Amino acid sequence: MSNYSRERFDVLVVGGGPAGIAAAVRSAESGARVGVADENVAPGGQIWRGGPSEGPHSFEASSWLVRLKKAGVIELWGKRVFHHPEAGILLAEGLDDVWELSYRNLVLATGARERFLPFPGWTLPNLMGAGGLQALVKSGLPIQGKRIVVAGTGPLLLAVASYLHKQGAEILLICEQASVSKLARFAVMLIRHPEKIFQGLQLSKDIAGIPLATSSWPVAAHGKRTLEAVTISRAGKSETVQCDYLACGFHLVPNTELPVLLGCRTRCGYVQVDELQQTSVPGIFCAGEPTGIGGMDLAIIEGQIAGLAATGKASEARMLFPKRERFRRFARLLDETFCLRSELRSLPSADTLICRCEDVSYSRLREHTSWRAAKLHTRCGMGPCQGRICGPATQFIFKWNPDSVRPPVFPARVEHLAAQPQSISEVTGEVQ
C-alpha cells in the first residue's frame, strides 16, 4: 500500500518551471509556508531541465534555484497532481506515495506542451517533438553523428537545432512553416526587445551553416518499424531526406486541464487572469504559458507577480507591471509570426491516425461534427493522454472545441484514487 502524507501550505504552487519557481520564491520570501509540486524528478520544468548530459544551469536558472532553497520552500518533485477532491485540497501521486496538499492560496504554473499535427507516418518511432527529442538528449540519449531534420514552427525549432548541433548531431535541415516575410517582420520587431535580440543573435551564430527552409513543412514520414526518411514540402516542391530522427513540433499549447478542472475561466484557450494574475476563482492564481504563450522571461515576471499577490504584497507586485507589459507585447508578436498556415489542415490522408492512444484515423473522424460526437463514437481523445495530443490537432484541423475536464486530470493508480478521504463516485476519467 502506498504511503499517504498530508501537507498544509499558505501558498501551494503547481509546476516547477520558471513561473512556478519564481512564484514560490516570492511567496516564501514574504514569510509564507510554501510548497511546490511538479511531476518531473528535478526542478526547472522543461526549459531549465537538468539531466546527466547537462552542464550547470544557466546563471539565471541557478540564481532562482538557490533562492528557492534559501527561502525554505518545501519541494515536492516527482509528484503529479491528479485530483481535486474538495475546495482547498489537491492530491498528488509519486511512484508509491500519495500526497494530500491543502492550501489557502494556489498558484497554477502548469506550463505548455508542444502542438503536434498529424501527417502520414507521424506515429513512427524516432519521430518526436522538437522539445521531445531535446528532453531525451538532456536525459542521456547520445546523438553524436545522428542525422536530424527539425520541422514545424516556432522559436523552439532554432533553439533545439542549436542544442542538438552542439551535442554533435548533424542537422540536415530546419523546416519552418512560417513565411520568410513573417520571419523578417519578426526579426525587425525584435529590436523593441533588446534581451531577445541577444538570445536571437547567439542562436543565429550557433545555427550558422544549417540550412533553414521557410514556408516548409513535413508531408510524410517513411520507415518500416522506425523512421528512415521524411518527405518535406519546400517552396512548393517535395523532396525526401534520409534521417535518423525527425524533431517536429508546431509551437506550443498551454496546459489548462488543471485550471479548468478547478473552475478557472478561460478565453480563447488561455486561463483568464486579472492584473495580479488571479483567475476567476478567488485565491487561485495562474502564471506563465497557461495565460498566453510568451516564453521564459514573461513566465518569470508573471510568476513573481502571482507569488507576491498570493501573499498580500500587491504593491510590490505592481512594480513589475511595466516589465510584464513589455514581455506581453513579445508574446503577441510570437502569436502573429508562428500562427499555423491552413495548408497544414490537409496533411493527414484517410488512414492517418489522429488519436494515437486509440488509433482513430482521419477518415473515421471527418464523419463527425464535434469533439464530443467524435469521442462518443470513435473513442478519439479517450485514451491515457486524455486528448492532450489529438485535442489541439482536431481543434486546428476540424475547428472542434475542447470539452470540459473531468477528474482525475491524469490517469492515476486505482489505489491512489481510493486513498483519498472523499468518495470518488463522480470520477469517470480513464484509469489504466
Our finding on whether 226 is near another protein (CB under 8 A) is yes
Angle between helices 130-138 and 155-166 (to 10 degrees): 30
Q: How far apart are CA 171 and CA 200, in angstroms?
A: 19
* Residue 81: its H or E element: strand 80-86
Residue from the set 16, 35, 131, 381 that interacts with another protein by CB under 8 A: 131
Q: How far apart are CA 21 and CA 207, in angstroms?
A: 30
Q: How far apart are CA 77 and CA 35, in angstroms?
A: 10
Measured in degrees and rounded to the nearest 5, phi and psi for residue 124 equal -65, 140
Residue with cell 520541422: 151
- Rounded to the nearest whole angstrom, what is the least distance from the CB of residue 47 to another protein in the complex? 11
Q: Please check whether residue 167 is in contact with residue 140, taking contact to mean a CB–CB distance below 8 angstroms.
A: no
Q: Distance of alpha carbon 271 from its chain centroid, rounded?
A: 14
- Rounded to the nearest whole angstrom, what is the least distance from the CB of residue 50 to another protein in the complex? 9
Residue from the set 62, 123, 204, 346 that interacts with another protein by CB under 8 A: 123
Coarse DSSP helix, strand, coil percentages of the chain, rounded to the nearest 5 percent: 35, 25, 40
Count residues near another protein (CB under 8 A): 44
Q: How far apart are CA 178 and CA 181, in angstroms?
A: 8
Q: Which is nearer to another protein, 133 or 309 (CB)?
A: 133
String of contacts with another protein for each residue 63-82, x by CB under 8 A: ---------------x-x--
| Sole window of 132-140, 306-314, 338-346, 399-407 interacting with another protein (rule: CB under 8 A) | 132-140
Within 10 A of 330 (CB to CB), how many other CB atoms are there?
A: 18
Q: How far apart are CA 377 and CA 360, in angstroms?
A: 10
- Rounded to the nearest whole angstrom, what is the least distance from the CB of residue 103 to another protein in the complex? 23
Residue from the set 132, 155, 307, 408 that interacts with another protein by CB under 8 A: 132
Q: Which is nearer to another protein, 13 or 128 (CB)?
A: 128
Residues 6+ apart with CB under 8 A from 326: 193
Q: Please check whether residue 124 is in contact with residue 245, taking contact to mean a CB–CB distance below 8 angstroms.
A: no
* 3-state SS assignment for residue 135: helix
Q: Which is nearer to another protein, 13 or 409 (CB)?
A: 409
- Rounded to the nearest whole angstrom, what is the least distance from the CB of residue 370 to another protein in the complex? 23
- Rounded to the nearest whole angstrom, what is the least distance from the CB of residue 388 to another protein in the complex? 5
Q: Which is nearer to another protein, 110 or 277 (CB)?
A: 110
Our finding on whether 46 is near another protein (CB under 8 A) is yes
Scanning residues 255 to 314, which ones bind another protein (CB under 8 A)?
255
Within 10 A of 173 (CB to CB), how many other CB atoms are there?
A: 21
String of contacts with another protein for each residue 397-416, x by CB under 8 A: --------------x-----
Residue 166 CB-density burial (10 A; 0-12 exposed, 13-18 middle, 19+ buried)? exposed
Q: How far apart are CA 339 and CA 294, in angstroms?
A: 14
| Sole window of 21-29, 48-56, 213-221, 233-241 interacting with another protein (rule: CB under 8 A) | 48-56
Q: Which is nearer to another protein, 26 or 375 (CB)?
A: 375
String of contacts with another protein for each residue 133-172, x by CB under 8 A: xxxx--xxxx------------------------------
Residue from the set 239, 316, 358, 403 that interacts with another protein by CB under 8 A: 358
| Sole window of 66-74, 168-176, 185-193, 355-363 interacting with another protein (rule: CB under 8 A) | 355-363
Q: How far apart are CA 90 and CA 81, in angstroms?
A: 7
Contacts with another protein, residue ranges (CB under 8 A): 39-41, 46, 51-53, 78, 80, 113-114, 116, 123-129, 131-136, 139-142, 225-226, 255, 353, 356-359, 383-385, 388-389, 411, 432
